Structure formats: C-alpha cells, structure tokens
Amino acid sequence: MRKSLLFLTSSDIQHPNADFSDHLLHELFKRITDEYSVTCLTPAFFGGRDIESIDGVTYIRRGSALTFSWYALHYIKSHPIALILLFNVPFLEFMCRRSTIPFARFLGNMPTCQAKSTFSDPCLVFHPSVLMTLTKQGYHQVVRLPEGLDLLSTESTWLEKEKRPTFVYVSRPSQPQELFDVCQAFIASRQEFQDVQLWIIGHCPIRFDSSIPAAMQGSIDYLGDMEPIERNRRISRATALLVPSHEDNWGMMVYEAARVGTPAIVYDTPGLCDAVQYGMTGYLAKANHPGGLATEMRSCLLDETTYHMLRYAAHQFSTIERLHDLEPSFRDWLYAQLSDVTAN
C-alpha cells in the first residue's frame, strides 16, 4: 500500500502565477507516485478546479490566500498522512512548529522563506549557498539534495545567435520587480548600444511600457507564452538570459539556457549564485539593481573572449552528473524521514 504524502504550497502548476519551482516539484512528485500517494493542497484560484489529478498527483484547491491555512489544518487532522512537506507557506510552517507535528518537513529554497522559530526543524534545501546560510544561522537539521537537472528538458541544440545583440527575459507575473529591473537595465544598455534588442517571454503587464521611451519600444518584442521547446530555441538564439531575481531562485532556467549555449546574467542571491558558480559559468551582478544588471550586459557585449569562455563553461557545468540525481536522492531522503517518524 502506498504511503500518503501531503504537500502544502502557495501555488501549483495550473496557477496563473505558477513559478518554475512549481513545475519542477510537480515533475519530482509525479515520478514517485509508484511508491507514494501524493496530494498537493493549495489555495483556490479563478478558473481552477477544486480537485483534479495531473500525472498521478492529486491537486486539491481550497479557500483563499487568507483562509487556506484553516482548510489545510483541518485536512491534516481529518486524514491519515505519513509525511507533510511545506513550501512557501510561512503561517502553516509556524503552526506546524507550534503544534509539534512530528511528520512535518520544510522545503527551503530561500533562507527568508523560513519562519524562524527553532533551529531544530528538519529542512530540505537544494543549493549550497542556501545550506551555508542556514547553517550559519544555527540550523542543524538541514539536508541538501542535488538541484535536479534530471527533471529538465534534454534539449541541447545550439542555434545561431541573432545578428543584433539580444537579451531575453522569461517573465514571472508573481515577481513584477524583475520586469521593471530588466526594462531599466535595457534602457541603460540602449544608451550605449543602439542596436541592442530585448525579448520578453511569458505574460507581461502592458503598464511597463510607460517606463520605456517611445523610441526604444520598437526594440522590445513581447513574445507571450511559449511551449518549452520553442522557448529554449528562442533562448539559444539570444546573447544572454536575464535573471534579476530576488526570490524563488531555483536557477533551473539558468541551466536550461546553458544547455542551449546561452549564458545567464543573474543577481547575487542564494540559488542563482550557485547556478553561475559565482561568476565562473555566467555573469554575476555586483549589485542587485538595474545598474548592476546593465553593467554585466555591457561586459557581455564588449568582451567577446570572456563571453565565449562562459558559454562553454556554463554548458559543461549544466551537464555534471552529480547534479542530475534528485529523484533517487529524494526517495532516499523520504525513506529516512519516514523511518524517523515511525521511530518517534
């Protein structure tokens, strides 16, 4: 009989603001449904079904962002659950700690996501920088698993670059500050490089056009949502991928871009700094604001030797075997956690 695994999170893959981490975690959960009955409980959203099964994973959507916690706690009390995983739900993390639920475990992608009340909470992370940060803060039950490149697309075709310098950004509706930073960095770059252009993939609020001079708006292409294969082809043709993220920095988009021959320019935040190896396999901004992003865009265009070196270094790093085995490592981690719960 399969053991019951409950995943509590603030969004899922069908949510309009679904992030890359939502898709990655779904890929991970659907691969363990042979051993576990996986249920994902999230807040409801307009147009989303109350209950649906996707790739063997059951999604239940209840309440709003404000009332979701009540539904989640009620579900926990009324259903037999072997293990609970929590991601990006600070209030529920706090409640699980207060009620001392022994079968609750915390997935941590950013140190700021932790509702810090005790340093003995079992926590699972996926990046060396996050592990180091939490360890310095005093956490002593933190386990790091591989980033999970085995869950990504295997696309690795390098296409010819655009004749014009081209930067590409994959929009995340849940992080509008990123889009603002990208536009401001593009404006700064365009002052020096008149032929530079910007591609924006995904949903993009029209209101951001007002911050861009009319003479530059023709150099920005809003490409809308794309299938992963077409998206990767576009990224492969671009000069560099822009990832000015402060939150939810899994870094998987950086690895996907590296596989198709495009280095990334990222902010120096946990997760992203690992994805570019602190500037050895990509461009790491020295300041996390549009000026820092524009500076690295300039370096990308002026230093052709370093650019090509980073292209090949990024590709090589994105194919390292030790980063590919998240699924078996996650299974082993689940076995260990269930053994601890049974022992207690």
What is the enclosing helix (H) or strand (E) of 135? Answer: helix 128-137
Closest CA to 285 of 198, 276, 44, 178: 276
Per DSSP, 215 falls in state H
Closest CA to 5 of 317, 338, 252, 310: 338
In the chain, which segments carry CATH 3.40.50.2000?
Answer: 3-146+325-343, 166-322
Query: Angle CA(272)–CA(135)–CA(282) in degrees, nearest 5?
Result: 15
pLDDT in tens, 69-98: 999 999 998 998 999 999 888 888 888 777
pLDDT in tens, 189-212: 999 999 999 999 988 765 566 678
| CB burial readout 44-66, b (16+ within 10 A) else e | bbeeeeeeeeeeebbbbbbbeee
- Residue that is written with structure tokens 């296409």 in the block: 159
Q: Does 3.40.50.2000 match the CATH number of domain 3-146+325-343?
A: yes
What is the C-alpha R_g of the chain?
21
- The percentage of residues in the chain with a pLDDT greater than 70, rounded to a whole number, is 91
Mean pLDDT of the chain: 88
pLDDT in tens, 249-259: 678 899 999 99
Instruction: Tell me the HSE value of 105 on the side-chain side, using a 13 A CA sphere.
Output: 26
Per DSSP, 309 falls in state H
Number of helices (H) and strands (E) in the chain: give both, helices first: 12, 14
Could you tell me the pTM of the whole model? 0.88
In angstroms, rounded to a whole number, what is the distance separating the alpha carbons of residues 201 and 169?
6
Q: Which CATH superfamily is domain 166-322 in?
A: Glycogen Phosphorylase B; (3.40.50.2000)
Query: Angle CA(178)–CA(251)–CA(150) in degrees, nearest 5?
Result: 145
pLDDT in tens, 110-167: 444 444 445 556 788 888 888 888 888 877 788 888 888 888 877 789 999 999 999 9
3-class DSSP assignment, residue 319: coil
| CB burial readout 292-324, b (16+ within 10 A) else e | bbbbbbbebbeeeeebeebbebbbebbeeeebb
pLDDT at 257: 95
Which residues neighbour 41 within 8 Å (Cβ) at sequence distance 6 or greater? 6, 7, 8, 9, 60, 61, 62, 71, 72, 75
Q: At what angle do helices 290-302 and 176-192 cross, to 10 degrees?
A: 50
Higher pLDDT, 104 or 63: 63
Position 40 pLDDT exceeds 60: yes
